[in-house]
Amino acid sequence: MRIRHAVVAAVIGLGVALGAAGCVAPTPAPSPTVSAVTPVPTAPAPTSTPAPTPTPTAAGPVSAPDDPSTWIIDFSGVGPVKIGDTIDEVTASIPVQGESCRPGVIQFFGSSIVALGAVGSDDPTGGSAPVVLAMVGRTTDATPGYPSTATGITIGSTIAELQAAYPDLETYQSYSGTPAYRVTDGTTWLHFAGYGTDTVASIAVATVDQTPTEYCG
């Protein structure tokens, strides 16, 4: 019994000695927790959009002062022959020689283009008279051609084409006793006459609702 007690005491003493000497096995450190990292998606690089190529605009018709076939007839006048301009201004705007049958009247291109100044102007030459009528008429010498309206009506167009182009066209009796046709914007009139035929023989822009029978008399 003494031997067993001695062995137990020795074992206990050895354990105490080892503990005092730091020979006790250390407690294992806890394993680090690994956190899952969610990758952040990379934004795609911006795609540059090419600038659209502008579509070229077709050039409109060019009005040539010496070519009446390029002129447009509208409520402002006949090409460069503008209502309200003076006879002198009209003469200066057309680079061809005009002819005058009386003061206040100027004719161009074989009298196919006529500008009529206001009657009663104080200027004896008529040069300062404001234009109140611009007219296109059929002549045997209409080179290089006649002006036309924006709807395509010109000297030689049929009356049926005229009526189709201007639904608001009004028929009236001209001073010559034949049917004439007119349309207005409220202050100025476009007059068309066939003089008893089925085609347009004259076109006038005027500040009055009827055209004169004679402008050189």
- The pLDDT assigned to 158 comes to 98
**Torsion sign, CA atoms 108, 96, 85, 120:** negative
- The pLDDT assigned to 40 comes to 54
- Residue count of the chain: 217
Selected residue with higher pLDDT from 212 and 181: 181
- The pLDDT assigned to 42 comes to 60
- The pLDDT assigned to 118 comes to 86
% of the chain beyond a pLDDT of 70? 67
Would you say 98 and 105 are in contact if contact means Cβ atoms under 8 Å apart?
Answer: no
Rounded to whole angstroms, the Cα distance separating 81 from 97 reads 14
pLDDT above 50: residue 55: yes
- The pLDDT assigned to 216 comes to 77
- The pLDDT assigned to 215 comes to 74
Q: Mean pLDDT over residues 190-216, rounded?
A: 91
Q: Would you place residue 143 in the very low, low, confident or very high pLDDT band (cuts 50, 70, 90)?
A: low
Which tens digits make up the pLDDT trace of 107-122?
999 888 999 998 665 6
pTM of the shown model: 0.70
Selected residue with higher pLDDT from 165 and 26: 165
* Top-ranked range on mean pLDDT: pick from 55-59, 115-119, 165-169: 165-169
Q: Mean pLDDT over residues 6-21, rounded?
A: 40
Q: What does the CA dihedral 149, 151, 156, 162 come to, rounded to 10 degrees? A: -110
Lowest-pLDDT range of 4-18, 101-115, 177-191: 4-18
DSSP at 152: -
Question: Could you tell me the strand order of the sheet in which 179-184 lies?
Answer: 105-108, 113-117, 131-137, 202-206, 189-193, 179-184, 170-173
